[in-house]
Structure 1
Amino acid sequence: MATASSSEWRAICDKFTSAQHLSDVESRKDPENDPFRSKYNARELLKEIHCSLKNFYVEHDNESNANEADQLPTEQPIDGAKDDAFGRGHCGESPVGIQAAQLGAIEFYLGVNHVETEELSAGEEHLMNCMKLLEKCNISPDNVSLFIQVRNQLGILWAGRDEIEKAQGYLETAEAMYKRFMKEDGLPPTDITEYFAAEEEKLSQQERTKRFEMVYTHTLYYLAQVYKNLEQFDKAGSYCHCTLQRQLQYNQFSPLEWAINAATLSQYYITKNHYMEGRHCLAAASVIAGLAGEVPSEAAALESEAESERREQLRQKRAEIARCWIKYCLNLLQDAKKPLEDNIGELDVDHQEELRRARQGEEEEKERGRKSAILFDSSDTFDSICGLEEKVSCTFPLDFQEARAVFLVGQSYVNEAKDYFEMDGHVTDHIEILQDHSSLFKALAFFEEDLERRCKMHKRRVDLLEPICKELNAQYYLLICRQLQFELAETHYEMMDLKLAVANRQDQLDAHTVKKFNHLCSSSIRYYQMFLDSLRSPEGKVPDRLEDDVLRPALVARFRVARLNSRLISASPSGQLENLNVSLEGYQSVVQYCEDHPEACASVETELELSQEMVNLLPLKINRIKAKTATN
């Protein structure tokens, strides 16, 4: 075969098109018991193409050697298509370069095929064959896409084997190739599918640019995953953000997938206190998720299985985005507390005014500069994203009104998330959302200066969590039960402290106040004790050594139970003595555990110090009451 005729080249092109269709379209329909059927069929076609190309090139080389005066083929492979296919058009180089690039492309597709069918070693072999063939080529607009894509695939392959640094090397090389090409050349590069396309099937310059930019977008996406695995989180966040921007820019994204990735990125920004960036990601996520369409009605979902699946997916993803909004509002309130707290954890009014003055002017100018750097600039969605951003602040609230505005946004997303994550079928998710709702109330209460109103907010927390705590089976949800028991104990404890502060303003406690105060103490004791009892062995024995994950909570619970018993108000000396003796035992248990396990001291320094003090003081108080009782 001295030259490739039009019919021979058309046969190769048709086989390539069929292989692409089998791999990209038909494979989605393959049965579960034969999931790679279409991939295997595509592989056979690619092997045939590879064989045809190699046979031609062997004969071509023989002809070239026989005719040294003419280094280029005398016939064109396609009627009316100069310098195409086996000639000089695709690589812009010698025939050797053309041959290497075309064979390399088939090796690339074979490599991807083997990786997709879970034959990684064979896939690696083909991809490395592609790399070796490309060594014969100089980088040009006609092959740069293949240069980058083969390294992308090798990066994916080695990342899948947990060889992260090796994956990093391939991907960073791909990134460097893109940057160098764009700086030195920048022409719209040939897409590798065009190696096997007739002239009339060639892509437009615009489409070539779009496809090449998406190849680079994939490079950035894979690098984001690599940097995350290497725990270079700042780099990973930056690359992820850039990936999302480019997907919007070139309109190459699935709305729900993009939205979830943006919402996930928001959580990274929140951990860095970059609330403006986090809010922008969440607003964009909500808007882009809307592009997936309306949630089908229940009636429509019942009529069609496809509509039922679509309804379920849309509801789930939007509920997940709502949960990310909840975390945004909750973390904003919690982080706003820290600079406002005094040395006993209360609102520092003087510092509040200082922060209010400092927030103006320079901070606003700085934020304008930051915002321009992170915008997801899409003309179709920009106004909607900005409109959603305006509904919640990205700066720390400084007073109750500002905090309440953030709280109400968070609460609206709580209701949206609960609508999908119902108790029936989503137990863990539903309870986590309730816990976040409780935490929103707790964070808001910090900004409320009226003690009675603050107490009512904590009561809302009890109303949210107590029914669930009673309903859950500890045998199946032990960890969640412990979390709820401890939080309910703490909530009643905070309410008790607030009631005590209110009572201290009164000259004399009335019977109703005493009853309410004792009820709060007893409720807190009950939930702390439930938590401590959950740590017992099946035989009911208290553990000699506490596990690290429950060490501090358990010792704090013992300390609090001791303190609460000493606070109970009893009308009789005998009742008071009984409460104080129980309190003394609690303090002694904390001190004794720390003496037996000195490594525990660091986790409860304050509680241990107070316990040691009370172990010395309480016996004196008990003896005074006994002496007074004996005298009477």
Structure 2
Amino acid sequence: MACLSSEEWGIICDKFANAQNLTDVESKNDPDNDPFRSKYKARELLREIYCSLKSFEAGETEEDSDQRPEEQPVDGQPDEGICRGFSGDSRDGLRAAKLGVVEYYLGINHVETEELSAGQEHLMNCIKQLEKCRVSSENVSLFIHVRNQLGIIWAGRDETDTAQGFLETAESIYQRYMKEDGSPPTDMTEYFTTEEKLLTHQERTKRLLASCLFVLMALLPYLALSITLQRQLQLNQFNPIEWALNAATLSQYYITKGRYLEGRHCLAAATVISGLAGEVPSESDHREQLRQKRAEIARCWIKYCLNLLQDAKKLLEDTIGELDTDCQEELKRARRHEEEEEEKGRKIALLFGSEDTFDSIASLEEKVQCLFPLDFTEARAVFLVGQNYVAQAKEYFQMDGYVTDHIEILQDHSSLFRALAFFEEDLERRCKMHKRRVDMLEPICNDLNSQYYLLIRRQLMFELAETYNEMLDLKLTLVNRQADTQSLDNHTIKKFNHLCSASAKYFQMFLDSLCSPEGKLPEHLEEEVLRPALVARFRVARLQSRLISSIPPVQLDNLNKSLENYKYVVQYCEAHPEAAPAVETELELSKEMVGLLPLKIERLKARMAVNN
């Protein structure tokens, strides 16, 4: 880019610095109702930089048109091609790298704003730019980082082979570069930096190493994490809190795959290593960031405990969602072999690394199991660990300043109670657990501003409606057990009707939130609210028919409202046949009730006429 004047180059560097600041700093202050505002501004600056670079490139294209680098191999295949193309420090090589860097950051920007396809396209454009170059100290960081990100995108889609291809190529490029060159590489942020702001050799090496070690962790299970941790501690060239957050993030991948041994190991290592950050002098000026990262690790622990309980519930529940005792006993008999395998896996992990560090990791691992809890005692132990991390996460993510994060943590806490309740045999105690959920969510739901937090309020409304409904079902079961020995008293009827009305109220609030200002539901429900809306109408119909009253006109009114809601479900699915598969069971029952309720209503009317 020889034709760029120093002034023009300075403008580009300033734009890049502003884009980085918007992404890394300003975006943290974006309001919840416009969460990507700063990142969209950063995107515009990156586009301006790209256009500037392309316009300068256009003037040089003719003299370079006869130069064509050889084709590169597909990721995951042999990488001899990385030795072909323009030299990394040549004018053409640097030009390709700079365009590639902008494509890379545009890709990351789109990924962070949840536009994965567009992000992937920009990252692939970055690779196309790099195909013109040989790997060198000027571009090796970009070669590795872009494959890192593509690997993560494909892993998120469960396209393991594709993800592995990108990650293995990144690791191969790193290993080959360190063997054949090994000099401190240019960091990607330095392509648009003035000379006085360039990084030191040590900082360059540290940044590349951190990136490559995370790739290694993604390639291999927790054994590789142990090896990686050992290498980092030996070299003493890593940021403890960044490494810990990467390990905690990796744990979430294992958890979603049901690999709780590895997930627990990653989280234990993350917690121990994050503790080192307070001992590193360079971290002393970043206490706020340190608190935030530790709170984020605590949230990963919450997800670990929650997923472990929920997966155990799926394993143990029967066809009606209750504990299958035969399955429970069978799994308990198989438990001994699982415990032996767990101990064997831990011993392998502990063979690699600093004895002091891994003693701490092992000690932390012992505080929470990685095998599925099979009874209330085991489930409660997992629950208490999760609840402890809820308290830690809430210390940082408080309602004042972190509304969305705070509520998400409360929702996870509620889900922990719900998962634990499955294991509780005493129905009264189970009901009290659901009451705890109501107590933590109801005040938040009622206080939130619908204009700014509509989606969150909808989630809370629906969860509260379902929680009250679960409490109602438990009370009904208790009532049925007592029916043979005693009749319903007024207190029981009042409690039953309260739960019924509360559940119906929150389902109706959810439905009202979907209405137009005129109070009408849309003729066509969007896909993301289709099932919740139809289920809510179905549940309201059931709840209204279950209300207990000794006054015939009130009974009649409840039955008519119930019929109206059942009819809505049936009529909507008739008008929109594509909706039927989403509510197959509810639709079948609604059709049945649309046939039965009119008869019940007519009988009630007849009795009322006789009595009058």
TM-score where L is the length of structure 2: 0.69
Q: Structure 1 residues 570 and 125, CA, compared in 2 at 3 Å: closer, same or farther?
A: closer
1:343 aligned partner: 319
Q: Structure 1 residues 543 and 374, CA, compared in 2 at 3 Å: closer, same or farther?
A: farther
Offset, 1:467: 0.4
> Which letter maps to 2:358?
F
Q: Structure 1 residues 177 and 628, CA, compared in 2 at 3 Å: closer, same or farther?
A: closer
Offset, 1:471: 0.6
Q: Is the 8 A contact 1:249 1:377 kept in 2?
A: no
1:612 aligned partner: 591
1:201 aligned partner: none
Offset, 1:240: 7.6
Q: Is the 8 A contact 2:147 2:167 kept in 1?
A: no
Unaligned runs of 5+ in 2: 1-12, 22-82, 105-125, 155-161, 186-203
Q: Is the 8 A contact 1:114 1:120 kept in 2?
A: no
The answer on 1:425 being equivalent to 2:404 is: no
1:526 aligned partner: 505
TM-score where L is the length of structure 1: 0.67
The answer on 1:567 being equivalent to 2:546 is: yes
1:627 aligned partner: 606
SS of residue matched to 1:291: helix
SS of residue matched to 2:464: helix
1:438 aligned partner: 414
The answer on 1:456 being equivalent to 2:428 is: no
**Equivalent residues in 2 for 1:91-490, closer than 5 Å:** 111=94, 115=98, 131=134, 151=140, 153-156=142-145, 175-176=171-172, 191-192=182-183, 218-219=211-212, 221=214, 246-248=231-233, 250-293=235-278, 310-361=286-337, 363-372=338-347, 374=349, 377-490=353-466
1:334-377 C-alpha deviation (Å, 9 max, x unpaired): 0000111111001111211111101112x233334444555563
Which segment drifts farther, 514-523 or 342-351? Answer: 342-351
1:269-315 C-alpha deviation (Å, 9 max, x unpaired): 0000001111111111111000011799xxxxxxxx996x5221111
SS of residue matched to 1:505: helix
Q: Structure 1 residues 514 and 155, CA, compared in 2 at 3 Å: closer, same or farther?
A: same
> Which letter maps to 1:192?
S
How many residue pairs were aligned? 484
Q: Is the 8 A contact 2:434 2:471 kept in 1?
A: yes
Q: Structure 1 residues 125 and 431, CA, compared in 2 at 3 Å: closer, same or farther?
A: closer
Which segment drifts farther, 264-273 or 235-244? Answer: 235-244
Offset, 1:623: 1.6
SS of residue matched to 1:381: helix
2:567 aligned partner: 588
Unaligned runs of 5+ in 1: 1-26, 36-99, 132-145, 183-187, 195-210, 225-232, 297-304
Alpha-carbon separation, structure 2, partners of 1:378 and 1:511: 67
Alpha-carbon separation, structure 2, partners of 1:569 and 1:120: 64
2:495 aligned partner: 516
Alpha-carbon separation, structure 2, partners of 1:358 and 1:236: 24
1:535 aligned partner: 514
1:490-534 C-alpha deviation (Å, 9 max, x unpaired): 000000111111111223100000000000000011100000000
Alpha-carbon separation, structure 1, partners of 2:563 and 2:439: 32
Alpha-carbon separation, structure 2, partners of 1:190 and 1:464: 58
Alpha-carbon separation, structure 2, partners of 1:314 and 1:212: 23
Alpha-carbon separation, structure 1, partners of 2:169 and 2:279: 42
Q: Is the 8 A contact 2:465 2:503 kept in 1?
A: yes
Alpha-carbon separation, structure 1, partners of 2:563 and 2:18: 66
> Which letter maps to 2:603?
R
1:208-229 C-alpha deviation (Å, 9 max, x unpaired): xxx99997875564588xxxxx
Higher Cα Rg: structure 1 or 2?
Answer: 1
Alpha-carbon separation, structure 2, partners of 1:171 and 1:346: 43
Q: Could you tell me the percent identity over the aligned residues?
A: 64
Alpha-carbon separation, structure 2, partners of 1:435 and 1:338: 20
> Which letter maps to 2:515?
R
Q: Is the 8 A contact 1:111 1:125 kept in 2?
A: no
Alpha-carbon separation, structure 1, partners of 2:165 and 2:325: 54
RMSD after superposition: 4.3
1:403-432 C-alpha deviation (Å, 9 max, x unpaired): 000000000100110000000000000000
1:22-48 C-alpha deviation (Å, 9 max, x unpaired): xxxxx9xx998999xxxxxxxxxxxxx
Instruction: Work out which structure has the larger RCO, using CA pairs closer than 8 Å and 6 or more positions apart in sequence.
Output: 2
Which segment drifts farther, 410-419 or 375-384? Answer: 375-384
Offset, 1:378: 2.7
Offset, 1:120: 8.4
Alpha-carbon separation, structure 1, partners of 2:280 and 2:230: 26
Q: Is the 8 A contact 2:97 2:139 kept in 1?
A: no
2:66 aligned partner: none
Alpha-carbon separation, structure 1, partners of 2:20 and 2:526: 48
Q: Structure 1 residues 517 and 105, CA, compared in 2 at 3 Å: closer, same or farther?
A: closer
Offset, 1:631: 2.6
Q: Structure 1 residues 366 and 118, CA, compared in 2 at 3 Å: closer, same or farther?
A: closer
> Which letter maps to 1:546?
L
Alpha-carbon separation, structure 1, partners of 2:345 and 2:309: 22
> Which letter maps to 1:424?
D
Q: Is the 8 A contact 1:486 1:528 kept in 2?
A: yes
Q: Structure 1 residues 168 and 347, CA, compared in 2 at 3 Å: closer, same or farther?
A: closer
Q: Is the 8 A contact 1:277 1:374 kept in 2?
A: no
Offset, 1:246: 4.0
Alpha-carbon separation, structure 2, partners of 1:377 and 1:623: 78
Q: Is the 8 A contact 2:531 2:582 kept in 1?
A: yes
1:579 aligned partner: 558
1:53-79 C-alpha deviation (Å, 9 max, x unpaired): xxxxxxxxxxxxxxxxxxxxxxxxxxx
Offset, 1:320: 0.4
Q: Is the 8 A contact 1:155 1:168 kept in 2?
A: no
Q: Structure 1 residues 105 and 441, CA, compared in 2 at 3 Å: closer, same or farther?
A: same
Alpha-carbon separation, structure 1, partners of 2:363 and 2:456: 38
> Which letter maps to 1:366?
E
Q: Structure 1 residues 428 and 193, CA, compared in 2 at 3 Å: closer, same or farther?
A: closer
> Which letter maps to 1:364?
E
Alpha-carbon separation, structure 2, partners of 1:124 and 1:624: 74
**Equivalent residues in 2 for 1:69-108, closer than 5 Å:** none
> Which letter maps to 2:539?
R
Q: Structure 1 residues 383 and 416, CA, compared in 2 at 3 Å: closer, same or farther?
A: same
Q: Structure 1 residues 125 and 261, CA, compared in 2 at 3 Å: closer, same or farther?
A: closer
Which segment drifts farther, 390-399 or 346-355? Answer: 346-355
Offset, 1:247: 3.0
Alpha-carbon separation, structure 1, partners of 2:289 and 2:357: 22
Alpha-carbon separation, structure 2, partners of 1:34 and 1:266: 28
Offset, 1:250: 3.6
1:75-113 C-alpha deviation (Å, 9 max, x unpaired): xxxxxxxxxxxxxxxxxxxxxxxxx9xx979669x9599
